[in-house]
Structure 1
């Protein structure tokens, strides 16, 4: 039912609702159960308020001059090396990820600016610029804040704060690996060395970027200092982005602010419909005892935690080529959670693995959403983007293997802040 309705073009949230209602009809159950589960899920999850607030913060970052100032800072920092603008792309994603929590926001906002810089005067091919932008954009939802991690917390009942901490190490690992791959590709293709920013200019460039650089600091200090909850931190991030864009930098007019609010509202509504559909469908999955059935099947195969995580990685990467990350997190992941817990896999570790998989899926052929986004920005055929992206996908798989089979990469920082775990 879900596949058929999705094929004819119905949004996945509506498809989930439709499948749930058909199941209730066939089972001769009260149709109001679907509405009841949606209301309970939406109004009983305070954490969901963080999603529209992070979306708004990212949109304000994009419409204001914050992205430009951050990019200038990154260019001064690493632009002096061979393939420097590629390194700038990755570092900018690492920094911008501390503000948006969205891979698409990273690619559309910061990515559009850096692609224009990379392709100016023919320094880099548009396809290569698009490929490294797509690869680096996936770091956005891994380093906090992270909208996908908020969704995982919703279905797994884990701490958002510890999830955010768990994403920092893996995000940095992936960033370093991407920079290594870019350095290697830069030598193969003999990419140019940009003119370095004089050291005497560094204080000025840094000073201009400080208000923007303070946003992730405010978020992290607020959450882990016990001052704010993640949802309150999201509200603070949106307010901070609005104030510095509108009053400090004066780069956002009243009309632009209104348009940004409308765009954020549309994006929030889209996510909200998907969450509501997933809440109704998850009731069906629970009633049919699908998680218990899968758990029994996997236990019958004598899989240990390594084999299980290998299986999960393969399945999520395959699904990531076809489905959007939110659908996987809300519908597929709850099915695997009981088995992961029974095998002694830490829920924070498992959550980060899931998020990394779904983010790689955004850049994986044939239907990765980031592929279409960057191909649209660069005006290049999607197959050219894919060809240039393959080396980066290979290095991302290495990073995924490290994150999967070396749990301490994820858990050392949460444990440092008192996380017990499994």
Structure 2
């Protein structure tokens, strides 16, 4: 019966996705239909309802709506413009300076907002018109913006890291946060390397070296934004507050920054900001609830053991098994968003990885990095679509300029997968691993 259950689950899910059904409803309906093959209809409804509730019964999940609200406040509080100005001071003299500014701003803004799509929209909408005036190819500009917008998801605070920590059950949020820094910075540097190579080949201009006064002014203007990351991580690492408490502090900090310091958000705008964050939170939490139900069906159908057996039949070589897991995750990322992918496939692949001697912390960073590539890969790469929309180009025009970025990201993924210390060094230094 298990093969039938699995076939119905994934078959219904893919058909519903193809028909344009929202992913959370596609997961929920496919889960219900597959559960009926194992249990009576009434029992299936009861079990799935219980899993929906239990999937959200975690205090740590409170961090997600708080970080989302903080991100919306920062997004509308003029943060992107200040970070772009600061990034221009840091990397503005490199070949293709505006493209490097785009990458650096996405790294900074993405880490604050916690959303790749929001980063692509906020940063791209400001810098893409400037790049057009400077003679940059629009397709190249859109590709740079799309390729770099997921970098911030590896640089904490990151909602997807919280979700992985809760799903794995064996990794602390603080350790995962620290583990993401080096891979995230390496990802940004590799993208900048490819950008520099292309920019030098096309003779894209650099900007003039800013004066010392401009450097200081840009730094001081962006310092309150950057301080949020320092305060949140410092508070978590020092034990001053938990990740959930840190998220509430981030909301208070963002509110003061946007309303009273930068004064770009008025009190009248707060209801719409709260409403936007509530809508986003509802979508994320519904995805979590239905994905936990799908994970239960997959476990009941014995899919983790089935995949493990198939991978071991493929090869006994750990390197080939880890490579196969990454290829499967890359495929999954092309049609499934990060949140449900982490929730559904962590229980499947994590036991296989730990059996091979991989740390759950290392596996989490590898998985998140892998799925970041999925955000910019068609057909369901939402960050790619946002980047194209902001850049005012069609998606088919961007695929070719994206190829060098896909290549470097895949190579870096392999390095992260097979060099554990890139992920584990900082947690070990801070005694978190």
Partner of 1:101: 114
Cross-structure match for 2:28: 17
Q: Is the 8 A contact 2:116 2:152 kept in 1?
A: yes
What are the equivalent positions in structure 2 for 1:216-365 lying under 5 Å apart?
A: 216-365=229-378
What whole-Å deviation, never above 9, does each CA across 1:66-92 have from its counterpart, x for those lacking one? 221121111112112221111111211
1:176-195 to 2 correspondences below 5 Å: 176-195=189-208
Q: What is the alpha-carbon distance in structure 1 between the residues aligned to residue 377 and residue 337 of structure 2?
A: 11
Find the aligned partners of 2:294 and 2:217 in 1 and give their Cα distance. 54
In the alignment, structure 1 residue 137 sits paired with structure 2 residue 144: no
Superposition deviation, residue 214 in structure 1 = 0.6
Answer whether contact 1:341 1:347 (CA < 8 A) is retained. Answer: yes
Q: Give the counterpart of 2:417 among 391, 396, 404.
A: 404
Paired residue secondary structure (1:42): coil
CA offset at residue 264 of structure 1? Answer: 1.0
One of 5, 8, 17 as aligned partner of 2:16 = 5
SS at match of 1:316: helix
Q: CA deviation at 1:244?
A: 0.7
Q: What does residue range 132-171 of structure 1 map to in structure 2 within 5 Å? A: 132-157=144-169, 158-171=171-184
1:259 to partner: Cα distance: 1.4
Residues 97 and 145 in structure 1, CA contact (< 8 A), matched pair in contact too: no
Deviation digits for residues 120-142 of structure 1, max 9, x if unmatched?
A: x2431221111111111110111
Structure 2 CA distance for aligned equivalents of residues 392 and 3 of structure 1: 28
Residue 128 (1) aligns with residue 140 (2): yes
Shift of 1:94: 2.1
Alpha-carbon distance between aligned partners in 2 of 1:26 and 1:317, rounded to the nearest angstrom: 29
Give a deviation string over 1:121-177, Cα, whole Å, max 9, x none.
243122111111111111011111112212211211121111111110101111111
- Residues 81-107 of structure 1: CA distance to partner in whole angstroms, max 9, x if unpaired? 221111111211222233122211211
Are 1:80 and 2:93 counterparts?
yes
Structure 1 position 416, deviation (Å): 0.9
1:387-406: per-residue Cα shift (whole Å, max 9, x none)?
21111111111211211111
Looking at structure 2, the residues matched to 297 and 78 of structure 1 have their Cα atoms a distance apart, in angstroms, of: 48
Confirm whether residue 57 of structure 1 aligns to residue 70 of structure 2: yes
Indicate the SS of the match to 1:322: coil
Whole-Å separation in 2 of the counterparts to 1:231 and 1:394: 37
Q: Confirm or deny: 8 A CA contact 2:52 2:290 kept in the other structure.
A: yes
Q: Kindly tell me: are residues 333 and 78 of structure 1, through their superposed partners in 2, closer, same or farther at Cα, counting changes over 3 Å?
A: same
Per the TM alignment, residue 186 of structure 1 is displaced from its structure 2 partner at its CA by 0.8
Query: In structure 1, what is the Cα distance between the partners aligned to 2:316 and 2:273?
Result: 49
The secondary structure found in structure 1 opposite 2:180 is helix
TM score, norm. by length of structure 1? 0.95
Cα deviations by residue, 1:326-365 (Å, 9 ceiling, x for unpaired): 2211112321111111111110110111101111111123
Structure-1 residue corresponding to 2:6: none
| Structure 2 CA distance for aligned equivalents of residues 61 and 203 of structure 1 | 22
Distance 1:295 1:248, change over 3 A: same
Equivalents in 2 of 1:144, 1:46: separation in Å? 19
* 3-state SS of paired residue (2:55): helix
Give secondary structure in 1 for the equivalent of 2:368.
Answer: helix
Q: Residue 145 of structure 1: SS of its match in structure 2? A: coil
For residue 151 of structure 2, give the secondary structure of its aligned residue in structure 1: coil
| Cα contact 2:312–2:321 (8 A) shared by 1 | no
CA distance in 2, matches of 1:122, 1:81: 15
The aligned residue for residue 7 of structure 2 is none
Residue pair 1:349, 1:411 contacting (<8 A) in 2 also: yes
Correspondence for 1:39 among 15, 37, 53: 53
Separation of aligned partners in 2, 1:309 and 1:54: 32
Structure 2 unaligned runs (5+)?
1-11
Query: Displacement, 1:384?
Result: 1.6
Q: Aligned partners of 1:200, 1:274: CA distance in 2, in Å?
A: 48
Does the aligned pair in 2 maintain the 1:139–1:175 contact within 8 Å?
yes
Decide whether the 8 Å contact of 2:147 with 2:402 is kept in 1.
Answer: yes
Contact between 1:98 and 1:215, CA under 8 Å: does it hold in 2?
Answer: no
Deviation at 1:196, TM superposition (A): 2.5
1:220-239 Cα shifts (integer Å, max 9, x gaps) = 10111111111111111122
- How much does 1:413 deviate? 0.6
